[in-house]
Chains A and B, each alone.
Chain A
């Protein structure tokens, strides 16, 4: 089975940011995670926090970001990610649907509070953590839609030197309780790490490593090339 590759981008981070979406698609991404920036991103590390601040400073709003997505569509599925304060606002699901977004990740909305989220027609993917006990993991497997987001490590988003051993353990546990694809995220920073994660999981999510390059001024072509190296590493196996 082909391994899935989902690069992340903070919506509105720079002018013309949707060009990165096309570059990701052309480079072989299977899905793209579009972050709708929140003022207080408690699950994110410094890189994505900086990107969120940059987008908000440019005046980006969920509405403006989704409008830009709708105006410049790609053909692969788009998964929005944001925080509960934005996702629980009335009309949020309709706004996603209108922009052609089909999936959603809300990292601070766990299983227990999920019933509050009203986004019909949107596949809500839940996060699983190395600390999640078995019974809860089973429930996450049942209620997650589209895929399960396996958080590789006890921590926040950000690049890391190596893949935490907890990533493979968690992916293995998840494979036993659900048939949904398991995507590993948090800390996947290089093609080598992507390949290593995909040995047990069905794919990877790459966020901070992408965003650091964008914040450093890399062009869509450069990012496309980086995503291409991730694609190649996943396909070599």
Chain B
């Protein structure tokens, strides 16, 4: 188990075992190759890494704290440590990736950013980076998500971004992603497609993981300082496409920690998906017996995606990470519980990870006395409307 490493290089086609690859129209091949080459060059350039680190600390608020959840730990009988991505600028881990990609876009001479968003946090982060670096931003967002994430839509517009509601299909993240790809192909010379998760054609899954591994690397150092065992017994993160989990896992994949990815019951690509191809990559997708992609349904817009990043599918096959599901109501209950026990309102996405910890604590899945690192991928302010409707207070 400890011999597995997650290399920054996944080969020309960006394969994680049978997953990953580059399944895109011929017109997008040169654009993807350009991103891959530019990323490899930038990531090897201390100047680029230095600029990104400086932005992450001076602008995004890194490092984020590791907060022991004392009251929750006492309630559950396990030691819970929270990696606080909710405390970053813009309120979620999305900013880590976006600052990296926006710097890359500028280095490539691109003059516009395109993004897709579900919960809106990636859209807000992209709009923020666009404002910071002077790059106009176009955000594609499913019409349903536009309705349920009205505050984030307004935030994006406030930041100067153009939000384009997508009315096709399920009108959620899946369709926003399709529309962003359709738009990108018309404007590859000027526009940079800033993908929001560890999905999409190579190099995006690898690149986004590398931009997010700051979460896992920091948490590893912080756990070493906090825990007698240095490494937690369990590392838990929510998984939609899976970027916060990929970044967190990257810091622990070579340790003895058990990695747990928590999916929404209605968006459980890693748990219940079948091998397929969508949005430029091969992975596990919810689909019917004829190969049509099924719509995901989650109360958390950020988890409302029918597939999972290719590296997660691979980690699952290897047995290195385990993927579990949590229901909408369990996630809501976990969000409320966290707010009351710790004074922290997590994003409903992150509450899925907490919900699994609450459910599993004291069982063979998560024995009493274990130490558990949970990534709080974002804060719950954006979910107030949903909580008003769903939480029984």
Contacts and interface: CB of A to CB of B under 8 A. Distances in A.
B182 to A, nearest CB: 5
Given A85-B287, A131-B31, A56 B26 contact: no
A73 interface: no
B293 to A, nearest CB: 5
Contact of B13 (A63, A113, A140): A113
Nearest to A41: B178
B56 to A, nearest CB: 32
Interface residues of A, number: 40
B290 A63 contact: yes
A40 to B, nearest CB: 5
Given A84-B277, A156-B185, A156-B186, A107 B290 contact: no
Interface string A128-141: 11111100100010
A221 B37 CA distance: 52
B276 A112 contact: no
Given A39-B169, A85-B276, A113 B22 contact: yes
A45 B175 CA distance: 13
A188 interface: no
B23 interface: yes
Contacts of B30: 131-133
Contact of A132 (B21, B29, B178): B29
A62 B291 contact: yes
Interface string A7-48: 000000000000000000000000000000011111101000
Interface of B: 12-13, 21-27, 29-31, 168-169, 174-175, 178, 181-182, 185-188, 276-280, 285, 287, 290-293
Given A40-B174, A110-B25, 12 more contacts: A38-B293, A39-B293, A40-B178, A42-B25, A42-B279, A43-B182, A53-B169, A111-B26, A128-B26, A129-B25, A132-B30, A156-B185
10 contacts: A40-B278, A42-B182, A53-B169, A83-B277, A86-B291, A107-B26, A109-B23, A112-B21, A131-B30, A132-B30
